[in-house]
Chains A and B, each alone.
Chain A
Amino acid sequence: MRNDNLKIGGHSLKSRLIVGTGKYKNFKQTADAVKASGASMVTVAVRRVNILDKRKPVLMDYLDPKKIIYLPNTAGCFNSKDALRTLRLAREMGGWKLVKLEVLGDKKTLYPNMVETLKSTEVLVKEGFKVMVYCSDDPILAKKLQDLGATAIMPLASPIGSGRGIRNKLNISLIIKNIKVPVIVDAGIGTASDAAVAMELGCDGVLVNTAIAKAKKPILMASSMKDAVIAGRKSYLAGRMNFQNYASSSSPEDGLI
């Protein structure tokens, strides 16, 4: 297969799997899982430094932002104001312009607040950010985000951290058909087959965090996700057979004894 990199925000990613770096036991496990996943891009959150413990290790000591692309996110933000503040700080930290916008609606579902999301996307694009947007699986709103200048559309498969897989394949397919920028399924992937299904539908990539971090063996699951994304992508490119109503023998009938 020729070069099939994922082109996004000026980057050319070798892997179509993006992984989150939250919920791991420690930084060592985070780094090992990222390595096993083969991901070229990781999501990171912005938080206050711990001023009480000066010796506390930091993520950058384990994952070098020169070697792996950091995608700062706005996880934990419930309105446009907080999301904008977070991403402006991220940009100041080291010039990150490619960011993941995530404005949440409520704590129970972590479902995106699309009104605030649309508003924030517009402001960020005007400020020169390249915005990958976590969103609902609504094809019309996805199109609206693209029209506002989003760099990538990231519909949820099911609620963040729920591991329920793709609840609405039809909507994800409609989004893929309607959208020109990369579509990356974000949130809800529970196991490798979910990631493969997303890729077979024609998604450009998937973002996985909890399914790896909370697997019994996170490193092994990271490598499983890597394989699933590759398999799903190949399957999509190969083009699946048509569905049939009745059996069709795989062996020829000619020369039957």
Chain B
Amino acid sequence: MAKIQLNGKKIKIYKDLNITGLLRKYNLDMKKIAVELNGEILPKSYYGKKKLRDKDKIEIVQFIGGG
């Protein structure tokens, strides 16, 4: 298991889970979100390749209503 921080919350995931797997776990459509990994924007083409490691900090954002 690896401990990561997702949107400010500490969670545990299986070791070597990639971003695609993480999105699936949270039922998120990659077309509707963007991902930041340790302060850097992660291009969508990396979602299948990038494996998460212990202490990684992830932000997943989406569009919401706003003025």
Interface residues of A (CB under 8 A from B): 20-24, 27, 30, 43-49, 51, 54-55, 58-60, 70, 72-73, 75, 85, 88-90, 92-94, 160-161, 187, 207, 209-210
Contacts and interface: CB of A to CB of B under 8 A. Distances in A.
B34 A51 contact: no
Contact of A48 (B7, B42, B43, B66): B7
Contact of A54 (B27, B43, B60): B27
Interface residues of B, number: 27
A48 B63 contact: no
Interface in B18-67: 26-28, 31-36, 41-44, 59-67
Contact of B65 (A22, A48, A51, A94): A22
18 contacts: A23-B67, A44-B65, A46-B34, A46-B63, A47-B62, A49-B61, A51-B6, A51-B26, A58-B32, A58-B62, A59-B65, A60-B32, A60-B63, A73-B66, A92-B34, A93-B33, A93-B63, A207-B67
A75 B34 contact: no
A21 B67 contact: yes
A73 B36 CA distance: 18
Nearest to A54: B27
B59 A48 contact: yes
Interface of A is mostly: mixed
Given A24-B65, A47-B61, 20 more contacts: A21-B67, A22-B65, A22-B66, A43-B67, A45-B64, A46-B34, A46-B61, A46-B63, A46-B64, A48-B59, A54-B26, A85-B36, A88-B41, A90-B63, A92-B41, A93-B32, A93-B34, A93-B61, A93-B62, A187-B67
A59 B32 CA distance: 10
A49 B7 contact: yes
B34 A48 contact: no
Given A44-B65, A48-B59, A90 B27 contact: no
B66 A30 contact: no
A70 to B, nearest CB: 6
Contact of A20 (B11, B31, B67): B67
B31 to A, nearest CB: 7
A70 B32 CA distance: 12
Contacts of A207: 67
Given A48-B59, A49-B62, A54-B26, A92 B67 contact: no
A52 to B, nearest CB: 8
B18 to A, nearest CB: 17
B7 A51 contact: yes
B26 to A, nearest CB: 5
A47 B64 CA distance: 7
Nearest to B44: A92
A27 B65 CA distance: 8
Contacts of A30: 65
Contacts of B67: 20-23, 43, 45, 73, 75, 160-161, 187, 207, 209-210
